[in-house]
Amino acid sequence: MNFDLDPETEEMRDAIASFARHKLGAPAEFDPEEFRQRWLLAGKQGVVGTAIPEEYGGLGQSAVTAAALMEALGYGCRDTGFTFSVAAHLFACLMPVVEFGTEEQKRRWLPALCSGERIAAHGITEPEAGSDALGLRTRAVRDGDHYVLNGDKCFTTNSPVADVFVMQAVTRPGGGFFGLTSFLVEADTPGLTVGPPYSKVGLRGSPMADVHLEDVRVPADQVLGSEGAGASVFTSSMKWERTCLFAGFLGVMRRVTESTVDYAKERRQFGSPIGGFQAVSHRIVDMTLRLESARLMLYKAAAGLDDGSQDEIAPALAKLAVSEAAVQLGLDAVQVRGALGILDGEAETLVRDALPSRIFSGTNDIQKNNIARAMGLARR
């Protein structure tokens, strides 16, 4: 049992953190053109394709290394929304293509998605189907050598800038786990329209919108996996997302913890640095405890991915641990800073960006349900 990263991964991690700090800023307002410029820069560094095999344009790294680089991106980039978008693109969209795509699909789609030339989005959530992933209403009907898709998606990360969608639809109503099918859909396909970007409380640098599908004709060779394999595609993508995506929040938490320590050493009250007061120092120790505990759980889950583990509990526990730790760590960072904590700055930004982490990738309540079911505690 070795808790240290290998020297090559540490070197890559440090390089990505430095690159993100100096090249990936946090603009005051979202601008699609500026977003794509940063995306291309990240693509040239290999960040948007870390876990994709080299023959398809990626870096060919393990899940543990991919998590380490995502943590570095979160540490160096102050736009957590951008980090989130990169992770959603990589783990929820590209990894399913690697695991379920045909050789032709991999060679057609992955190189440009790894280089940063193209951006992917995963269309799963609907107005009537969020936590209930098997309750989708978007339909796909076979018509010769095409499928015709109709329906609506919401809360779709990257949709305002996406070039391609991994779209989930029902091909067999009432078919349960085997009733869903995944499709690779070009963003400019007639009938596919994207609504205006949402205004969100957090992750403002990650564009998100509704997607409307009206008689969207998709060639049959753009089915990902096979007809009826959509739930398997989704489940696999969530294992990656619930583990490696959340590594970005570890990086943000580490950065905010370090700056909080520095602040507590410099800020003086009653003639002494506030870090000398037990109420403050213990709060910072608790921040460190949450960060390190969550980090261990996440890397354990990432190691399981590399080992081919079918464990459903570790990714769910990692998601729970990181998201809850991020929210509380942000609140503690605000409290240590006092009035400055509620002004524009990284502490209050962490709170806003961390709150959605308890919702996306399956709410934390759903994660507890999944864990309980895996433990044999499911309700009959």
Q: How far apart are CA 150 and CA 183, in angstroms?
A: 13
103 and 155 share a domain? no
Residue 128 pLDDT exceeds 90? no
pLDDT (tens digit per residue) in 302-326: 999 999 988 889 999 999 999 999 9
Amino acid 380: pLDDT:
60
Band of residue 378 on the pLDDT scale cut at 50, 70, 90:
confident
267 and 355 share a domain? yes
Give phi and psi for 368, each to the nearest 5: -65, -35
87 and 137 share a domain? no
Q: How far apart are CA 51 and CA 236, in angstroms?
A: 14
How many structural domains compose the chain?
3
Residue 241 lies in a domain: no
Domain boundary among 91, 119, 147: 119
254 and 367 share a domain? yes
Look-up: residue for tokens 């699609």?
32
Expressed as residue numbers, the domain containing 221 is 121-230
209 and 279 share a domain? no
Look up the CATH number of the domain holding residue 109: 1.10.540.10
Q: What is the pTM of this model?
A: 0.95
Look up the CATH number of the domain holding residue 202: 2.40.110.10
133 and 109 share a domain? no
Residue 75 pLDDT exceeds 70? yes
Token pair recorded at residue 85: 């978008």
Residue 239 lies in a domain: no
Amino acid occupying residue 194: V
Look-up: residue for tokens 């997302």?
241
Residue 259 lies in a domain: yes
Domain boundary among 230, 262, 297: 230
Q: How far apart are CA 87 and CA 102, in angstroms?
A: 23
Domain boundary among 102, 119, 136: 119
Residue 238 lies in a domain: no
Active site amino acids: 241
Say if residues 126 and 138 touch (Cβ distance below 8 Å). yes
